[in-house]
Structure 1
Amino acid sequence: MKKTMVKVKSASFAVAVVVLIFGFSELPLNAQQSTESGKHQVFSANPFGLILELFNAEYERVISGTSTIGFGGSTLKNDHDIYPEPPILGTDEFGFPIYDWANEPDPITETDRYINFDVFWRFYPSGNPLVGWAFGAKLGITSVNDQTHLGYGFDLNRSWLLGPEENFYVGLGFGLKRLIGTTEADDLIPVIPTIRIANVGFIF
């Protein structure tokens, strides 16, 4: 059965989602029900990105007494060397190739680039959005090198508010995302993990 690749324009999709999220953020506060801290939105990012070359950032907004919506993105850069085989001079008595190691080619450096952008909804069963355990659903695009696919998934998150005024945010999360339209010819697995190693930020 032939699979259909879903192609999306990353920039257009991202702009549309941001407009949608900020449209929801303009809802009156009486329709959003404040959190216990009286704060309704958070911006966070991954501080370990400078070390791991993995950057992640999120914006999340309360829309009800138990749920939030938001958007987030991440990018990962990975450089690796490919070592071409040296020239073959001939074969030995057993038929195995004899390589000319004296003229071994220099390694070729290739760069893999991973980019992900999602819009998400999270449910906080404690009734205090932005704090505690949350179950989420997400929809967005994932691009690896020159391949871009639409995908959907789910995740589990845990967040805390720290500091004397509880305005410092820490969040962890793990989930899975299924990419739509991947084929065996693609250099992608159909289900990829999504991880928030440790996002820190401010709630306001």
Structure 2
Amino acid sequence: MTFSGFTNDDFSVFTIDGLDERMDALKTTIRPKLEDLGKHFSTVLSAETGHEIFPHVARHARRTKNPPNDTWVAFASSPRGYKMLPHFQIGLWETHVFIWFAMIYEAPNKEEYGKKLEDSLDKLYNEIPKEFVWSGDHTKPGVYKHSDLSKDELGNLFIRLQTVKKAEILCGVNISREDAIKMNGHDFITAADHVFKKLLPFYKMA
């Protein structure tokens, strides 16, 4: 395992102007680290989920004009893609690292999954660590802190997943840029492993 942790240079990639210029920097600085994390956690998650898990490092191949504002490695049970499946992610915005479980809008069974979440609302509300965060849109950096949500507000996210075509559900942890750059590779791996273990019930529910 060669992952050495994230640095200021990694986060600063997202301030570079121009699609080609930002993509070149992303490929040389962040992508090798995401590939290292992909190799490591695909093995770990395969063992923990009981399914063979494959890493998918974001390529941003469809972009022709606007440079990406975030990037990631996703983990799913298919070698061909992850967007239609329940999956895990590690990625970066300019301001933070995210470690997620995600069910995004392409998933064909998200309505059924939203009902399962709604049926488990009491358990999830009480057992999710207070420092965890939620999102209903993977394309935006904003999140809801679990500690700030009422049970009804959390339930509304689950209902929205069932009723709104573009709705998504993501749960996990954000690590601020300042905290992330203080972590060496071992520290980050340990932190991410802890988060994924807490997120396993979401995957198994799916």
Scaled by the length of structure 1, what TM-score is found? 0.29
Looking at secondary structure, tell me which structure has more helix per residue. Answer: 2
Report which of the two has the higher share of strand.
1
- Which is greater in Rg? 1
